[in-house]
Structure 1
Amino acid sequence: MTTEIDNTSSTAADTSSIPVLEEERVTAITALESEFGELITHFRRVVMDNANRLSPGMLPGAYKTFTTIVRYESSTASTLTDVLQMDKGQLSRTVRELEELGLIQRTPDPADRRSMLLSATEDGLTRLAVARRPQEGAMLRRLADWELDDISTLTALLHRLITVTREA
């Protein structure tokens, strides 16, 4: 039996754009949200542990900023505010902290001398590798028995979900 859930009535939050969905779909989406919540909790724990190994007391936001700089190899503050969706004041404080810890350095941007490029120091890269070492290969070990098609399907579906989420 398919029961339709009417999500089109307006409440305190604007729900007028939510489509009418059958009960099974609502249940499946709710279960997916729950699993994502568990996954996010796990990754927050990993990030907190890595941040503390990188520098005791480091906040996860500073760790995320640092790993984003590492991923981009070098970046301007403006790019980081866009990528991390962080306000300029918070980013400025975080960059100063990372610089004081010797994890990043500033160099003039050759494309725009008014701007500075932020990049990881050699010490920062070494410390990050040490901080990440405990869970290196964890995903490889956990998915070693999965079918290759399942891994590919999960990857494609996550990419698709991220794409539609960004459009919202």
Structure 2
Amino acid sequence: MAADVEASEGARTAAVRALEAEFSELITHFRRLIMDNANRVSPGMLPGAYKTFTTIARCGSVTSSALAERMLVDKGQLSRTVRDLEELDLIRRSPDPSDGRSSLLSLTPHGEAKLLEAREPQEGMLMRNLADWSVADIDSLTRLLHALSSGATPGRED
């Protein structure tokens, strides 16, 4: 019985290590994509600035404080990045109607165009990579990744 438990734990450890290795490869791939996209938006743009830019794009409009909280970054560092993005005419500040002391950050039309242009080479890559997958497999991967990222156990309703 103890040997079965040891073998089971060994198999679990090996499986988790294999998963970690695959995540490492995936992260490396995504870093490369982000660096390429950042350079297409503006040559020399750092990946952190691109992340700030795309986070603003996903939010539609957001205050600097909410953006810093969402991205888990220092407000001073974020302030410099926001200033750089403004100088590139990628984002703009507008008064926050709900709080006159703060402003909302959003993409400019130029920023929207640059983001579309930067993403174009990868457009459809995920669709192509998943073309031979069944919808059930895609749904399963989505469910499992959500469970992993939220700390839930797959198959349990929490």
Using the size of structure 2 for normalisation, the TM-score is 0.91
**Residue 129 of structure 2 corresponds to residue 142 of structure 1:** yes
Letter in 1 for 2:85: L
Q: Which residue number corresponds to residue 50 of structure 2?
A: 63
Q: Which residue number corresponds to residue 4 of structure 1?
A: 6
Q: Which residue number corresponds to residue 89 of structure 2?
A: 102
* Alpha-carbon distance in structure 2 between the residues aligned to 1:79 and 1:32: 33
Q: Which has the higher helix share?
A: 2
**Residue 61 of structure 2 corresponds to residue 74 of structure 1:** yes
Map Cα deviations across residues 36-90 of structure 1 (whole Å, 9 max, x no partner). 0000000000000000000000000000000000000000011111111100111
**Paired residues, what number?**
150
* Alpha-carbon distance in structure 2 between the residues aligned to 1:93 and 1:86: 12
* Alpha-carbon distance in structure 1 between the residues aligned to 2:6 and 2:73: 40
Report the CA distance between 1:2 and its aligned residue. Answer: 3.5
- Alignment match of 1:131 (pick from 99, 102, 118): 118
Kept after mapping to 2: 8 A contact 1:2/1:24: no
Structure 2 spans left out of the alignment, 5+ residues: 153-158
* Alpha-carbon distance in structure 2 between the residues aligned to 1:61 and 1:157: 28
* Alpha-carbon distance in structure 1 between the residues aligned to 2:151 and 2:98: 33
Report the CA distance between 1:3 and its aligned residue. Answer: 5.3
Structure 1 spans left out of the alignment, 5+ residues: 6-20
**Residue 118 of structure 2 corresponds to residue 116 of structure 1:** no
Using the size of structure 1 for normalisation, the TM-score is 0.86
Report the CA distance between 1:148 and its aligned residue. Answer: 1.2
